[in-house]
Chain A
C-alpha cells in the first residue's frame, strides 16, 4: 500500500503561482475556480515579522470528513495512495462535503458536481508527478509515498521541521510544509 503525500518547502517557495496555472491548464479547471491556490501568511509585529508563502490544495486527509459525510459514496478514497476523489456521475451536489472541509478545498463545478484536487492521479498512475509539482520553478514541492521510508518525502519530514494545516480539526492532513 502506498500513502501519497506532498511536502512543500516554504523557505524556497516564492509564491509565483505557477502551480496554480499548471493545475488549471492540466485539469481544465473552469474559469473562476481553483483547485490549488497561494496563501501568504504574515505573522508578528514589525520588525520581527515572519511570512510564510504556501501552495495549498486538498490535503487528501487520512481521516477525511468529506468522504464520511457523502450520502451517495461519490466522495471516496482511491485504492492507490489514499487519494480522496469524487465520482462525478454519483455526486448529487448536496454540498455537505464543501461544508465539512476545514480547508475549504472543494467547490461546485459549473456542471453541478463537487470538484477538487486529485493529486493529478491520472499523471501519478503513469509514474509522473502532479502538474503543480512538475512545473515548480524553485523545486520547492515534493510528491511521494510516505509508506516508503526511502522516499524523498519521508526523508524530508525526518530531516526538517514541518507542520500540517489545522491538525486540530482531526482530519490527519497529508500535505506538509517545511519551515
Chain B
C-alpha cells in the first residue's frame, strides 16, 4: 500500500460529517407524513365518521401503506452493509431508538392493514372479494372500528415522535440535542398529512375541515419551531452556534425562505383565505406545505451533521 498522507481524511467524516445523504431525510419525512395520516384517519374512524370523511378514511390508509414501504426502501438504501439488515431483528437494543424503530415498523404494517380493511376501496374489493368479506366482519362489531382507530392514533404518535428521537438521541450533534425535535417532526407530519387530504379530497366539507385542521397544525409548527430555538439559544455555546446555523448561518436562506415562509407562513395565509371563502381552494398551498415539510427534514439532518462540539468552524 502506498499512501503518503497521514492526516485524517476519512470519507463521510472529513472535513464535515456527512454520513447521511438524501435517504434519511426522505425516510424521516415519509415517517412523519405516514404518522400524521395514521392519526387523522384513526381519529375519524374512532369518531365513527368514516362515511362522511370519505377520503381520509377510504384512500389515506392505502396511501400510507405504500408510502411507508417507500420510506423503508430509502432506509434500506442508506445501509452500508445491506446483506446484514436481518441483524436488526435478532436483538432488541433498549437504548437505541433505531432498534425501537425497526420493531415499530414491523408493527405498523398490521396496524395500517387493519385500518385499510375497515373500508376497502371498490376497485380493490371487486378484484379480491375476500377483502370485502373480511371488511364486513370487522365492521359488524362497532367497538372494533373504534379500537382500530385508537390504535392507529397511538401508533401514529409513536412513529411521529420516534423520527425526532432518532436524531435527538445522538448527543454529539448539538443541533439535534433537543427533546422538542420529536414534537416538531410530529406536528410537521400532521400538517403535511392534513395537506395531503385536503389536496385530494373530493367532498367540499371534508376539504374545508382538513384545511382548517392544517391551519391549526401549521400554527402549532411555528410555535414549536420557536420553542426549539429558545431551547437551543438558552443552552451552552455549541447549542447556540448550532441554532445560528439555521437562523443566520449557511442554512439560513433555505430555512427562512423554504421552510418558514413558503412552507408555513404563506400556505397558512392562503388556506386561511380559502376556508373563509375569500379565494378558491387550489392544490398550491398543500403542495407548498408538503415540500416545506420535506425541506425541513433535509435541513435538520444536514445542519445537524454540520454542528459539532470541537470544530466550531461555523462560529462567526
**Alpha-carbon distance A111/B78, docked complex (angstroms):** 15
Q: Can you list 8 A-B contacts with CB-CB less than 8 angstroms, sorted by A residue number?
A: A34-B8, A69-B96, A72-B91, A92-B88, A93-B84, A94-B80, A99-B172, A169-B309
Interface bits A20-60 vs B (CB < 8 Å: 1, else 0): 11001000000111100110000000000000000000000
Assess A20 versus B81: contact at CB under 8 Å? Given A69-B98, A71-B99, A104-B13: no
> Is B252 in contact with chain A by the CB < 8 A criterion?
no
> Is A89 in contact with chain B by the CB < 8 A criterion?
yes
Chain A hits for B80, CB < 8 A? 92-95, 108, 112-113
Interface size on B, residues (CB 8 A): 44
Contact B171–A91 (Cβ < 8 Å): no
Contact B79–A92 (Cβ < 8 Å): yes
Chain A hits for B308, CB < 8 A? 102
**Alpha-carbon distance A90/B82, docked complex (angstroms):** 11
Chain B hits for A20, CB < 8 A? 6
Chain A hits for B88, CB < 8 A? 71-72, 92
Chain B hits for A171, CB < 8 A? 171
**Alpha-carbon distance A4/B177, docked complex (angstroms):** 29
Contact B12–A98 (Cβ < 8 Å): yes
In the complex, chain A residues 151-179 whose Cβ is within 8 Å of any chain B Cβ: 165-166, 168-171
Chain B hits for A165, CB < 8 A? 310
Partner of A69, one of B6, B11, B169, B310: B169
> Is A123 in contact with chain B by the CB < 8 A criterion?
no
Across the interface, name the chain A residue whose C-beta is closest to B102: A71
Counting chain A residues whose Cβ lies within 8 A of the other chain, the interface size class is: 35 or more
> Is A96 in contact with chain B by the CB < 8 A criterion?
yes
> Is A17 in contact with chain B by the CB < 8 A criterion?
yes
Contact A107–B10 (Cβ < 8 Å): yes
Contact A101–B98 (Cβ < 8 Å): no
Interface of B is mostly: loop
Interface bits B97-119 vs A (CB < 8 Å: 1, else 0): 11101100000000000000000
Assess A65 versus B84: contact at CB under 8 Å? Given A21-B6, A108-B11: no
**Alpha-carbon distance A107/B169, docked complex (angstroms):** 19
In the complex, chain A residues 76-111 whose Cβ is within 8 Å of any chain B Cβ: 89-96, 98-104, 106-108, 111
Chain B hits for A93, CB < 8 A? 79-82, 84
In the complex, chain A residues 111-141 whose Cβ is within 8 Å of any chain B Cβ: 111-113
Assess A73 versus B93: contact at CB under 8 Å? Given A33-B11, A90-B87: yes
Chain A hits for B78, CB < 8 A? 94-95
Seen from chain B, the residues whose Cβ lies within 8 Å of a Cβ on chain A are 1, 3, 6-14, 17, 19-20, 78-82, 84-85, 87-88, 90-91, 93, 95-99, 101-102, 169-173, 236, 238, 305, 308-310
Chain A hits for B172, CB < 8 A? 65, 99-102, 169
Distance in angstroms from B62 CB to nearest chain A CB is: 29
**Alpha-carbon distance A20/B79, docked complex (angstroms):** 28
Contact B305–A92 (Cβ < 8 Å): no
Partner of A107, one of B12, B20, B85: B12
Contact A98–B84 (Cβ < 8 Å): no
**Alpha-carbon distance A92/B101, docked complex (angstroms):** 15
Chain B hits for A71, CB < 8 A? 88, 93, 96, 98-99, 101-102
Chain B hits for A89, CB < 8 A? 84
User: Which of A68, A91, A103 lies at the interface centre, i.e. has the most chain B CB atoms within 10 A of its CB?
Assistant: A68
Chain A hits for B95, CB < 8 A? 68-69
Contact B3–A24 (Cβ < 8 Å): yes
Contact A70–B96 (Cβ < 8 Å): yes
**Alpha-carbon distance A115/B61, docked complex (angstroms):** 41
Chain B hits for A166, CB < 8 A? 309-310
**Alpha-carbon distance A103/B7, docked complex (angstroms):** 15
Partner of A37, one of B7, B81, B82, B84: B7
Assess A94 versus B98: contact at CB under 8 Å? Given A32-B11, A71-B93: yes
**Alpha-carbon distance A24/B10, docked complex (angstroms):** 13
Partner of A169, one of B7, B19, B171, B305: B171
